[in-house]
Amino acid sequence: MNVETHGAYCVATYRCYDEKADFHKKAAGIAVGLTVGSWTDLPQARKAEMEKHLGRVVRVEVHEPAAGESASERYADIQIAYPDINFSRDIPALLVTVFGKLSMDGRIKLIDLSFSEAFLSAFPGPRYGIQGVRDLLGIHDRPLLMSIFKSVIGHDLPALREQFLQQALGGVDLIKDDEILFENPLTPIERRVEACMQAAAEAQKATGQKLLYAVNLTGPTFGLIEQARKAIDAGANALLFNVLAYGFDALAELSRHPDIRVPIMAHPAMAGAFYPSPYHGIAASVLLGKLMRLAGADLVLFPSPYGSVVMPREENMAIKEALLTTDASAYALSANGQAPLAQSFPVPSAGIHPGLVPLILKDFGDQVVVNAGGGVHGHPMGAAAGGRAFRQAIAGCLAGRPLREYAADGHAELQAAIDAWGIKE
Amino acid sequence: MNVETHGAYCVATYRCYDEKADFHKKAAGIAVGLTVGSWTDLPQARKAEMEKHLGRVVRVEVHEPAAGESASERYADIQIAYPDINFSRDIPALLVTVFGKLSMDGRIKLIDLSFSEAFLSAFPGPRYGIQGVRDLLGIHDRPLLMSIFKSVIGHDLPALREQFLQQALGGVDLIKDDEILFENPLTPIERRVEACMQAAAEAQKATGQKLLYAVNLTGPTFGLIEQARKAIDAGANALLFNVLAYGFDALAELSRHPDIRVPIMAHPAMAGAFYPSPYHGIAASVLLGKLMRLAGADLVLFPSPYGSVVMPREENMAIKEALLTTDASAYALSANGQAPLAQSFPVPSAGIHPGLVPLILKDFGDQVVVNAGGGVHGHPMGAAAGGRAFRQAIAGCLAGRPLREYAADGHAELQAAIDAWGIKE
- Closest in B96, B97, B246 to A249, CB measured: B246
pLDDT exceeds cutoff 80 at B17: yes
Q: Return d(Cα B31, Cα A425) in angstroms, integer.
A: 34
| Partner-chain contact A218 B86, CB within 8 Å | no
**What are the tens digits of pLDDT across the range A64-91?**
998 888 988 999 999 999 999 999 999 9
| Domain shared by B170 and B39, yes or no | no
Domain containing residue A306: CATH number = 3.20.20.110
A402 touches chain B (CB under 8 A): no
Instruction: Out of A71, A102, A121, pick the residue that ends a domain.
Output: A121
Query: Are B328 and B338 spatial neighbours (Cβ–Cβ below 8 Å)?
Result: yes
Between CA A237 and CA A339 the distance in angstroms is: 27
* Pick from B210, B197, B262, B187: nearest CA to B232: B262
Q: Is A6 exposed, middle or buried (0-12, 13-18, 19+ CB in 10 A)?
A: middle
Q: Which residue, among A270, A275, A304, A316, would best test binding to B if mutated, counting the most B CBs under 10 Å from its CB?
A: A270
Q: Which residue out of A25, A52, A101, A362 is catalytically annotated?
A: A101
| Mean pLDDT across B346-352 | 93
Contacts of A121 (CB under 8 A, 6+ apart): A340
Q: What is the identity of the amino acid at B182?
A: F
State whether ipTM is beyond 0.90. yes
> Of all helices (H) and strands (E), which one includes residue B241?
strand B238-241
- On whether both A288 and A367 belong to a single domain, the answer is yes
Q: Which of B92, B121, B150 is the last residue of a domain?
A: B121
Per the CB < 8 A criterion, the answer to whether A175 and A238 are in contact is: no
Q: How many domains does chain B have?
A: 2
Q: Do residue B37 and residue A280 have CB atoms under 8 angstroms apart?
A: no
CA A149 to each of CA A126, A180, B47: distance values in angstroms, whole numbers, following the listed order: 25, 11, 19
B91-150 per-position pLDDT tens digit: 999 999 999 999 999 999 999 999 999 999 999 999 999 999 999 999 999 999 999 998
- Cβ-contact A211, A204 below 8 angstroms: yes
What are the chain B neighbours of A36 within 8 Å (beta carbons)?
151, 153-154
DSSP state at residue A344: P
Judged by a CB distance cut-off of 8 A, whether residue B131 touches chain A is no
C-alpha B379/C-alpha B376 separation (Å) is 6
pLDDT surpassing 90 at residue B41: no
Distance from A27 to chain B by nearest Cα, in Å?
A: 15
Of the candidates B249, B195, B184, the residue with the CA atom closest to the CA atom of residue B219: B184
Rounded to whole angstroms, how far apart are CA atoms A304 and A290? 17
Beta-carbon separation of B242 and A100 below 8 A: yes
- Same domain for B323 and B368? yes
B335 and B359 both lie in a single domain: yes
What average pLDDT does range B378-398 have in this prediction?
96
pLDDT band at B5 (very low <50, low <70, confident <90, very high): very low
Whether B97 and chain A come into contact, CB under 8 Å, resolves to yes
Predicted local distance difference test score (pLDDT) of residue B56: 96
Separation of CA A410 from chain center: 37
CA pair distance B113, B14, nearest whole angstrom: 9
Residue finishing a domain among B94, B121, B148: B121
Q: Which residues of A touch B383 (CB under 8 A)?
A: none
Distance between CA atoms of residues B391 and B146, nearest Å:
10
CA distances from B354 to B74, B206, B401, B404 (A): 43, 22, 14, 11
Say yes or no: B169 and B274 in one domain: yes
- Residue B133 and residue B117 in one domain: no
Instruction: Please give the residue of chain B at the shortest CA–CA distance from A96.
Output: B269
Residues of B involved in catalysis: 101
CA distance, residue A91 to nearest chain B CA (Å): 8
* Same-domain status, A209 and A304: yes
Of B50, B179, B311, the CB nearest to A100: B179
Strand partners, A270: none
Are A303 and A186 found together in one domain? yes
Residue ranges making up the domain that contains B99: 3-121
Identify whether residues A277 and A362 lie together within a single domain: yes
Are A190 and A276 members of one domain? yes
Domain co-membership, A8 together with A142: no
Q: Which residue has the higher pLDDT, A165 or A39?
A: A165
CATH number of the domain enclosing A106? 3.30.70.150
> Is the CB of B180 less than 8 angstroms away from the CB of A311?
no
Coil, strand, or helix at residue A41? coil
Q: Does B5 touch chain A (CB under 8 A)?
A: no
Q: DSSP 3-state assignment of A104? A: helix
Q: Which of B32, B47, B90, B101 to mutate to probe the A interface, most A CBs <10 Å? A: B101
Sheet order of strands, B299-303 included = B345-349, B299-303, B264-266, B238-241, B212-217, B174-176, B144-148, B369-372
Q: Which of A37, A86, A247 sits opposite B246 (nearest CB)?
A: A247
Answer whether residue A7 shows pLDDT above 70. no
Q: Which residues of A touch B242 (CB under 8 A)?
A: 92, 96, 100
Is residue B7's pLDDT more than 70?
no
Query: What's the confidence (pLDDT) of residue A5?
Result: 45
Is A18 near chain B, with CB under 8 Å?
Answer: no
Strand-pair partners of A214? A176, A238
Confirm or reject contact between B55 and chain A (CB < 8 A).
no
Listed residue (B205, B200, B206) closest to B234, CA to CA:
B200
Q: Are residues B37 and B158 in the same domain?
A: no
Q: Provide the 10 A C-beta neighbour count for residue B201.
A: 12
